[in-house]
């Protein structure tokens, strides 16, 4: 078979997008803070990181034999990683739908951007904020709006009990508090 019809590994720019992909047909919601964080990363890679690596690669290329030149080989690999990340960030920012939680009019129900405190069946109180998939960070209590817990809590009001399937089995979550911050 011709190489033209085979998929080569290692240089696939959609691999990262698929790994953190959105379900088909859904919007890429994010808070203003998440959008700004992605823009800051894009600017840093474009203005600081990539120019440094290009400088090292061009210096290393002038040193002669490139096949055994570690600086050149590592630099080229790092450039591919940076370019892949730049393409990913550009696509994410282009498809972003920024939603400001401070503008939420119905503050009695759980929607995107809400900080929710809930009690589970074991009477543990847990506080989470529902955010976009690019902002999710469980250590900081930021969960993606497409996660099972967030989907179960969406549109719930204080005092409502919702059911969610977890790896440990079904769980009941009672909404204790809903806060919207900017």
Contact 141, 114 (CB under 8 A): no
User: Are 164 and 109 found together in one domain?
Assistant: yes
| Two tokens, residue 113 | 């951007």
User: Are 90 and 107 found together in one domain?
Assistant: no
User: Are 92 and 37 found together in one domain?
Assistant: yes
The SS3 assignment for 176 reads: strand
pLDDT mean over 74-88: 95
Question: Residue 90: inside a domain, yes or no?
Answer: yes
pTM of the predicted model as reported, rounded to 2 decimal places: 0.78
Q: Among residues 83, 98, 113, which one ends one of the domains?
A: 98
User: Are 115 and 79 found together in one domain?
Assistant: no
pLDDT at residue 18 greater than cutoff 60 = no
d(CA 129, CA 107): 14
pLDDT band at residue 17, thresholds of 50, 70 and 90?
Answer: very low
d(CA 83, CA 77): 10
Closest CA to 171 of 179, 180, 162: 162
User: Are 107 and 171 found together in one domain?
Assistant: yes
| Two tokens, residue 161 | 């009990």
Q: Which domain holds residue 66?
A: 27-98
- CATH number reported for the structural domain that contains residue 90 in this entry: 1.10.287.180
pLDDT at residue 1 greater than cutoff 70 = no
Q: Give the chain's domain count.
A: 2
Contact 35, 93 (CB under 8 A): yes
């Amino acid at each position: 078979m011709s190489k033209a019809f085979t998929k080569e590994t290692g240089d696939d720019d959609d691999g990262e997008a698929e790994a953190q992909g959105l379900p088909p047909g859904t919007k890429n919601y994010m808070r203003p803070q998440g959008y700004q964080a992605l823009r800051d990363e894009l600017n840093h890679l474009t203005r600081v990181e990539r120019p440094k690596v290009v400088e090292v690669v061009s210096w290393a290329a002038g040193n002669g034999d490139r096949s055994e030149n570690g600086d050149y080989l590592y630099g080229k690999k790092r450039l591919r990683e940076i370019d892949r990340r730049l393409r990913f960030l550009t696509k994410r920012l282009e498809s972003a739908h920024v939603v400001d939680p401070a503008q939420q009019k119905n503050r009695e129900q759980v929607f995107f951007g809400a900080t929710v405190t809930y009690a589970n069946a074991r009477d543990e109180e847990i506080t989470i904020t529902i955010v976009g998939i690019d902002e999710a960070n469980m250590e900081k209590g930021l969960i993606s709006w497409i996660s099972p817990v967030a989907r179960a809590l969406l549109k719930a009001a204080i005092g409502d009990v919702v059911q969610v399937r977890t790896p440990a089995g079904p769980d009941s979550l009672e909404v204790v508090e809903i806060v919207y911050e900017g």
